[in-house]
């Protein structure tokens, strides 16, 4: 397999670990709002970066999902609802991992965050053409 595809798969695998962690934590420690939300944001970030690598797009190191979508939009059309989802998850980036930025999310908000991450996974994998596990 060529190196580019291997690298893309590594991005997908890392994203899957974040998404899997979010789901596992939600199932067993649903009061860990910030950790669950953080892993959802991180998963989406990595799914987007897998697409940027796929399309050979240069990007700056960033946790900003809107920025990553903007770069991706150089190659493909990005629907507004995807931007809305990215904006929602952007607030769960690394900043919430510190004591001065505590958040509390409802079960419904966490379910939504996980669903968004799952949606971005489908989006990335379908474009890249990787076979589902």
Tens of pLDDT along 31-67? Answer: 998 899 999 999 999 999 999 999 999 999 899 999 9
Report yes or no on 105 lying in a domain: yes
Tens of pLDDT along 89-106? Answer: 998 876 666 666 667 788
Domain count of the fold of the chain: 1
Beta carbons within 8 Å of 20's beta carbon, 6+ residues apart: none
Report yes or no on 132 lying in a domain: no
Report yes or no on 91 lying in a domain: yes
pTM value is 0.91
pLDDT of the residue at 91: 82
Q: Which domain holds residue 118?
A: 3-127
Report yes or no on 29 lying in a domain: yes
Report yes or no on 71 lying in a domain: yes
Q: CATH number for the domain including 59?
A: 1.20.120.330
How open is the CA angle 52-53-58, to the nearest 5 degrees?
65
Report yes or no on 133 lying in a domain: no
Distance CA 8, CA 53 (A): 7
pLDDT band at 133, cuts 50/70/90? very low
């Amino acid at each position: 397999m060529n190196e580019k595809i291997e690298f893309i798969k590594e991005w997908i695998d890392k994203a899957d670990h974040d998404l899997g962690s979010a789901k596992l934590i939600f199932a067993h420690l649903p009061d860990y709002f910030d950790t669950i939300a953080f892993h959802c944001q991180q998963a989406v970030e990595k799914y987007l970066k897998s697409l940027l690598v796929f399309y050979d797009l240069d990007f700056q190191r960033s946790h900003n999902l809107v920025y990553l979508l903007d770069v991706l939009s150089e190659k493909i059309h990005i629907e507004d609802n995807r931007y809305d989802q990215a904006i929602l998850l952007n607030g769960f980036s690394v900043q919430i991992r510190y004591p001065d930025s505590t958040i509390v999310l409802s079960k419904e908000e966490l379910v939504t965050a996980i669903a968004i991450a799952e949606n971005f996974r489908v989006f990335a994998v379908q474009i890249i053409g990787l076979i589902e596990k």
